Amino acid sequence: MFAYLANPARFMRVSGRAWRFVAASGIAALAIGLYLALAVAPPDYQQGESVRIMFVHVPSAILAEGVYYLIALASFVALVWRHPLADVAAQAAAPIGAAFTLVCLATGSLWGKPMWGAWWVWDARLTSVLVLFFLYLGYIALVNAFEDPARGARAGAVLALVGVIDLPIIKFSVNWWNTLHQPASILRMGGPTIDRSMLVPLLVMTLAFVLLFAALLLLRMRATLNERKARALRLAAPPRRADPVSTGAAPVLR
Amino acid sequence: MTRKRKRLAIAVCGLAALAAATAMVLTAFRDNLVFFYSPSELAARPAIAAGRIRIGGLVENRSLAHEDGRRVSFRVTDGATDIAVSYDGILPDLFREGQGVVAEGRIKDGVFVASSVLAKHDEKYMPPEVAAALKKSGHWQEGGDAGALAGPPPAHFR
Amino acid sequence: MTLAAWAAMGGYAAYVWPAYGIAAALLGGIALQSWLRCRRSERELDRIQRTTGRQ
């Protein structure tokens, strides 16, 4: 599939139809997920109604990490095989991943204040997620710091690959060190420790976030490819009708 | 093809070196990255109790006592050792006997005088009815240390 | 359950609703920005293709 979509023109044709479908299913899943999370799911026996924050917090955390894995994978492909769409995908995904990370941090803080008794603690889990947020910001800044987009893309790809070591640290921080953050509830030895009545809304919300991410990724990739094509056309052929306002600064060579 | 191979080799070697370096750093920092010490660690290494520290464990059952004003006292245990804690302040909503807690402060005359108390949540999520049913059927593991539904208590509370 | 009781979130309204609000604002914001940027790029490309007569 990746080989088939390697061609940007073909990608534009397929994604033009695909993104609407993906976005529509994402919105539908989000509507169901929000209904389950806010109205159907029971309160927790310890946390009461504040457990509903988890239905946004955990999917954002999953996406925050998942999107970074995708960026790292795309960067690897871009560095080694010079795939024409890999850099585009990585750069399109980064702002979305940063937004998910910020949602994860903010909602975690809003849960931590009443439950733990603190908005923020410098434990290994929270700190490593904050590092992930700065990795996203650093990647976005680095990619745009170069005059030459190709050099910016390559520098960003190297940073993305170096930063990938933060992901296992986030995952296992709660097992390796004494943290205030609780250990994993879903992906753990011995099965989930979360009741089905809460697991189902959580999974629906996660699916909704994944679909919405996919739709936004396609949209942003399409925007980048359109912009590149427009730039190439502008450079290749000057406008037919001479427009003295828009081309005023350039000396007339014709 | 050879240039692609070369780039692949460089990328793989770079990532392997990075992973090895990180693994070494993490191993070296392993003991220094703890958020809190357990009462047993405190007893075994009195040197760490010199300044401001954080201790973590379970609030011992039937140890919570309200004193004058907001001041409360309770004992924090890890199953093997326990320590008396005194605290003047607002307790978080998850603070309960049998539940995890992290207290920050310093030791004065054998009592841990806390300046802040944070509640530690376990990884269990369930509606109150399920919790009640588990308690009724005898499948409940008291102590709050993980695994009412499955699994052993986490290592740092043992 | 009344609507007011539901909105009160068992006393945690001050934490639950801001959490959903921040998520909606951030994710909605990036969604809107992505969509507008894509639409603008399409129009710009269209305009250039018309003026230069190239595809």
Residues B43 and B109 in one domain: yes
Among residues A123, A188, A192, A179, the alpha carbon closest in space to that of B156 is found at A179
Q: Tell whether the model's pLDDT for residue B158 goes beyond 50.
A: no
pLDDT, averaged across chain B: 79
Residues B10 and B63 in one domain: no
Q: How far apart are CA C7 and CA B148, in angstroms?
A: 31
Chain C interface with A: residues with Cβ < 8 Å: 6, 9-12, 15-16, 18-20, 22-23, 26-27, 29-31, 34-35, 37-38, 40-42, 44-45, 48-49, 51-54
pLDDT, averaged across chain C: 92
Rounded (5°) CA angle A61-A62-A66: 120
**Cβ–Cβ of A178/B99 closer than 8 Å?**
no
- The pair of three-digit structure tokens given for residue C50, joined into one six-digit string: 């018309």
**pLDDT, position B25:** 73
> Is B69 in contact with B79 (CB distance < 8 Å)?
no
Q: Coil, strand or helix: which one is B9?
A: helix
Ranges of each domain in chain A: 8-178+195-229
Q: Tell whether the model's pLDDT for residue A33 goes beyond 50.
A: yes
Q: Tell whether the model's pLDDT for residue B146 goes beyond 60.
A: no
Among residues C12, B143, C15, the alpha carbon closest in space to that of A43 is found at C12
Q: How far apart are CA C51 and CA A154, in angstroms?
A: 34
pLDDT, averaged across chain A: 88
Over the stretch A96-127, which tens digit does the pLDDT of each residue have?
999 999 999 999 999 999 999 999 988 888 98
Distances (CA, A) of A157 to A67, A101, A117, A131, B113: 14, 19, 39, 17, 50
**Cβ–Cβ of A195/B156 closer than 8 Å?**
no
Among partner residues A113, A230, A236, which is closest to C15 by beta-carbon distance? A113
Residues B26 and B47 in one domain: no
**pLDDT, position B153:** 37
**pLDDT, position B80:** 87
Residues B6 and B55 in one domain: no
User: Domain containing B112: what range?
Assistant: 39-120
**pLDDT, position A36:** 96
**Cβ–Cβ of A116/B149 closer than 8 Å?**
no
Residues B43 and B105 in one domain: yes
Lowest mean pLDDT of A55-59, A201-205, B89-93, B146-150, name the range. B146-150
Q: Tell whether the model's pLDDT for residue B28 goes beyond 90.
A: no
- The pair of three-digit structure tokens given for residue A210, joined into one six-digit string: 């994944």
Percent of chain B with pLDDT strictly greater than 70: 82
**pLDDT, position A180:** 86
Residue predicted with more confidence, C29 or B143: C29
**pLDDT, position B109:** 85
Chains touching B (at least 3 CB pairs under 8 A) are: A
Q: Tell whether the model's pLDDT for residue B148 goes beyond 50.
A: no
Question: What confidence tier does B154 reach under pLDDT thresholds 50, 70, 90?
Answer: very low
Q: Sort A73 into a burial class: Cβ within 10 Å, 0-12 / 13-18 / 19+.
A: middle
Q: How far apart are CA A95 and CA A98, in angstroms?
A: 5
In a domain, B143, yes or no: no
Mean pLDDT of A212-229: 95
Over the stretch A81-93, which tens digit does the pLDDT of each residue have?
888 899 999 999 9
Mean pLDDT of B130-154: 56
Residue type, B55: I
Residues B52 and B115 in one domain: yes
Q: How far apart are CA A201 and CA A180, in angstroms?
A: 25
Count the domains in chain B.
Answer: 2
**Cβ–Cβ of C26/A103 closer than 8 Å?**
yes
Q: Tell whether the model's pLDDT for residue A140 goes beyond 90.
A: yes
Question: What confidence tier does B1 reach under pLDDT thresholds 50, 70, 90?
Answer: low
Q: Tell whether the model's pLDDT for residue A136 goes beyond 90.
A: yes
Q: Tell whether the model's pLDDT for residue C42 goes beyond 90.
A: yes
Distances (CA, A) of A21 to A2, A13, A24, A88, C42: 19, 14, 5, 21, 19
Residue predicted with more confidence, A208 or A192: A208
Residue A202 half-sphere exposure toward CB, CA atoms < 13 A:
21
Tell me the chain A residues in contact with residue B14 when contact means C-beta distances shorter than 8 Å. Answer: 161
* Nearest residue in A to B57, CA atom: A178
Tell me the chain A residues in contact with residue C44 when contact means C-beta distances shorter than 8 Å. Answer: 226-227, 230
Give, as one character, the DSSP assignment of residue C28.
Answer: H
**pLDDT, position B11:** 78
Among partner residues B35, B125, B127, which is closest to A177 by beta-carbon distance? B35
Rounded (5°) CA angle B68-B73-B77: 175
Q: Tell whether the model's pLDDT for residue B30 goes beyond 70.
A: no
**pLDDT, position A113:** 92
Question: What confidence tier does B137 reach under pLDDT thresholds 50, 70, 90?
Answer: confident
Question: What confidence tier does B44 reach under pLDDT thresholds 50, 70, 90?
Answer: confident
Distance to chain A for B112, nearest Cα, Å: 19
**pLDDT, position C41:** 96
Question: What confidence tier does A50 reach under pLDDT thresholds 50, 70, 90?
Answer: very high
**pLDDT, position A250:** 47
Mean pLDDT of A24-30: 97
Q: Please report the DSSP string for chain A in residue order.
A: -TTGGGSHHHHHHHHHHHHHHHHHHHHHHHHHHHHIIIIISPPBTTTBGGGGGHHHHHHHHHHHHHHHHHHHHHHHHHHHH--TTHHHHHHHHHHHHHHHHHHHHHHHHHHHHHHTS-S----HHHHHHHHHHHHHHHHHHHHTT-SSHHHHHHHHHHHHHHHTTHHHHHHHHHHHS--SS---SSSSTTS--B-HHHHHHHHHHHHHHHHHHHHHHHHHHHHHHHHHHHHHHHHHS--SS--TTTTTTSPP--
